[in-house]
Amino acid sequence: MGHMGIILSGHGLNKRFGAFQAVRDASFTLAEGEALGIVGPNGAGKTTLFSLIAGSLTPTSGTIVLEGKSVAGADAASRCLAGIGRTHQVPRPFLGMTVFENTLVAAQHGSGLPEGEAEDLAAEALSRSGLLASANRPAGVLGLLDRKRLELARALATRPRVLLLDEIGGGLTEAELVTLVALISDLKASGLSIIWIEHILHALLKVIDRLVCMSAGEVIAEGDPQTVMRDPTVMAAYLGGMKEHA
């Protein structure tokens, strides 16, 4: 893929928390319309990488480029407006607000659209995420699947160009995963560029074009999903990681 097709890239990203280095010299590219998967054992730095991209954390060093422009100095809200949407591994709904209000506030502040259009956008995001029927329920009463849907709806309501999905499949049943995979495939088909962190490989592999494996803060393998999964360093990192968490 040519340079023109790159929508988001990271170069030499490092993030240190005191003595602990969460992300070490990580680089990645995401092509327009591409779905990139990220796997790796717990503590590999995947979620930290998302926080660096979305602007919740500032990298110790390294640059992030969105559509040809460095996002350094832009805070999370501006990056959201610039087109980065993020969902959280553990859903973080705005409790005390309805499902619709959750998406509406994101559409009003994160999409850059005028207020009238924001309402339509919020409704559309709910509809795409399969939550329209729950629009007027308080966000706090939703079950896990619906909370994950709400995370997605809220991110979609900001009109993202790049969608960052953090273990959105975690904790769902097989049937729920099928629904989710269909939904994410639809989003990809509509032209969204997606980076998806996921432990549930069979769901991930149905959607992604390319796979990155991280371990101990570093990118240790990158490329065709099947090839990456068969990579001996990846298998070693995974087995090591699983042993730690067994």
Positions in the binding site for another protein (CB under 8 A) = 54-56, 75-77, 80-81, 86, 88, 92, 94-97, 101-102, 104-106, 108-112, 115, 154-155, 157-158
Half-sphere exposure at residue 102, Cβ-oriented, CA atoms within 13 angstroms:
32
* Nearer residue to another protein within complex by CB, 76 or 205: 76
| Minimum separation from the CB atom of position 151 to another protein (A) | 9
* Nearer residue to another protein within complex by CB, 24 or 128: 128
| Minimum separation from the CB atom of position 18 to another protein (A) | 15
- Residue 26: which region, alpha, beta or left (left: phi > 0; alpha: psi -120 to 50)? beta
Lookup: tokens for 112: 């850059």
| Minimum separation from the CB atom of position 88 to another protein (A) | 7
SS3 for 70? strand
* Nearer residue to another protein within complex by CB, 57 or 180: 57
| Minimum separation from the CB atom of position 27 to another protein (A) | 23
| Minimum separation from the CB atom of position 34 to another protein (A) | 22
* Nearer residue to another protein within complex by CB, 54 or 237: 54
Alpha helices in the chain (DSSP H): 46-54, 76-82, 99-110, 115-128, 144-156, 174-189, 201-205, 225-230, 232-244
| Minimum separation from the CB atom of position 108 to another protein (A) | 5
SS3 for 147? helix
Residue 26: beta bridge partners?
Answer: 13
Distance CA 237, CA 246 (A): 14
Distance CA 163, CA 173 (A): 23
* Nearer residue to another protein within complex by CB, 81 or 201: 81
* Nearer residue to another protein within complex by CB, 41 or 59: 59
Distance CA 138, CA 94 (A): 9
